[in-house]
Structure 1
Amino acid sequence: MAKYLIRKSTNGQYWWVLKAGNGETILTSETYTTKQNCLKGVESSKVNIADGNFKILTSVRNDPYFTQRAGNHQVLGTSQMYSSTHARDIGISSVKNNAPIAVIEDLTQ
């Protein structure tokens, strides 16, 4: 089953990682100053899954990747770098399919 893992960095910031059922990382969030804001980011990621919420990008090394954005266009999460545009598109589909049903696991406690 897919899950959002809530983590805390050594500087006290929080972030989440969306993992697919097979354990692969799909998205990694930006950092948040509070756990409450991090959890709001997770909830936003769960509902902002329309095509328009994904921005298709290419790195300076020409690797395809994407970001998921909220309704206000703020970046919620960034994908890994993919080996092909086809693999990137599968990653986007994985977010759309997994995010709404993913459980939240708090690893900060």
Structure 2
Amino acid sequence: MYFELRLAKNGQAYFVLKAGNHQVVAQSQMYKDKKSALNTIDSIKNGVNADSVVKDLTEEEGE
């Protein structure tokens, strides 16, 4: 996987996470500056907190 750092027409930075086959996996929110986007990329690259919760919204309640 790899990140593409981009600038929107309004000057805000964002990134796209792509798989090895170049398919888009995720796109970030807009950041006011490039540094903020890079900080988020670094956080993702360094891993997520092990206590993070996954909310499965694919199943309806009561199933």
Calculate the TM-score normalised by the size of structure 1.
0.46
- Which one has a larger percent helix, Structure 1 or Structure 2? 1
Residues of 1 paired with 2:57 and 2:20: CA distance?
Answer: 27
**Count of residues in correspondence between the two structures:** 57
- Which one has a larger percent strand, Structure 1 or Structure 2? 1
Deviation at 1:70, TM superposition (A): 0.1
Calculate the TM-score normalised by the size of structure 2.
0.75
**Aligned pairs (5 A) from 1:63-74:** 63-74=12-23
Which AA in structure 2 matches 1:105? Answer: K
Root mean square deviation, CA, Å:
1.7
Structure 1 residue runs without a partner (length 5+): 1-47
**Aligned pairs (5 A) from 1:1-109:** 48=1, 53-98=2-47, 104-109=54-59
Q: Percent identity?
A: 37
Residues of 1 paired with 2:35 and 2:41: CA distance?
Answer: 10
Q: Which aligned segments of 4 or more residues in structure 1 are displaced greater than 6 angstroms?
A: none
**Which is bigger in relative contact order (C-alpha 8 A, separation at least 6)?**
1
Instruction: List per-residue Cα deviations over 1:77-102 (Å, max 9, x = no partner).
Output: 00110011110100111221235x55
